[in-house]
Amino acid sequence: MPISQRLRAAGLFVLAAGLGTGCDLGTKTWAAGALAEGPQAIAAPWLSLQLAYNRGTAFSVFPKLGDALPMMAVLALLISVGVAIYLWRHRPDAPTSIALGSIVAGALGNGYDRAFRHAPGGGTGVIDFVSVRLPGGYLWPTFNVADVLLVVGVASLFVLSVRRSHATPQTSTA
């Protein structure tokens, strides 16, 4: 791969990771102040902004990590470094670089919160603030921009992978 393509892929990755992390941390800082007085309805009853501190994993699968919470921050950093190494060694195309940057942005944003964001009652926690109520009254777990970046990044990698597998001509072994 020519150096210009390598630099383009790295630049897109850094841009996606930097902008995504900045947007995530900025919206969380905004939410901590603006939503401290209570939730704000956006499209009642389906969508509201409501401040919550998640002391567990994504979507509160494991709701209380306690002393293991900082380890999740270290894991996020290790994953981010691993993705950057992968990017440098494999030099993916632009869409893959952006998808990887989105994943790293989500990991760094939530990792930062797990390590440094003070939560009420002591300890740290990830700020979640987007609340969605689905038809039938089901309440989706509250989430944040980092969660969206992670989901979109992983989904994009999946779609890109499927597209590539269908674009590659299959050879017959007969």
Is residue 157 pLDDT above 60, yes or no? yes
The DSSP line for the chain is --HHHHHHHHHHHHHHHHHHHHHHHHHHHHHHHHTTT--EEEETTTEEEEEEEE-SSGGGSS---GGGHHHHHHHHHHHHHHHHHHHHHH---HHHHHHHHHHHHHHHHHHHHHHH-B-TTSSB-EEEEEEEB-TTS-BPPPB-HHHHHHHHHHHHHHHHHHHHHHHSPPPP--
Give the CB-side neighbour count of residue 125, counting CA atoms within 13 A: 22
Tens digit of pLDDT for each residue in 61-112?
A: 555 666 666 777 788 888 888 888 888 788 788 999 999 999 999 999 999 9
Query: What's the CA gap between 140 and 78, in Å, rounded?
Result: 29
Quote the tokens at residue 132: 């969605």
The pLDDT, as a whole number, for residue 149 is 97
pLDDT digits (tens, 9 = 90+) for 40-66: 999 989 999 999 998 876 655 555 666
Q: Which amino acid is at 44?
A: A
- Name the one residue in this structure whose structure tokens are 């930062």: 112
Compute the distance between CA of residue 133 and CA of residue 108 in angstroms, rounded to an integer: 27
What residues act catalytically? 128, 147
Q: Which helix (H) or strand (E) holds 11?
A: helix 3-34
Model confidence at 150: pLDDT above 90 = yes
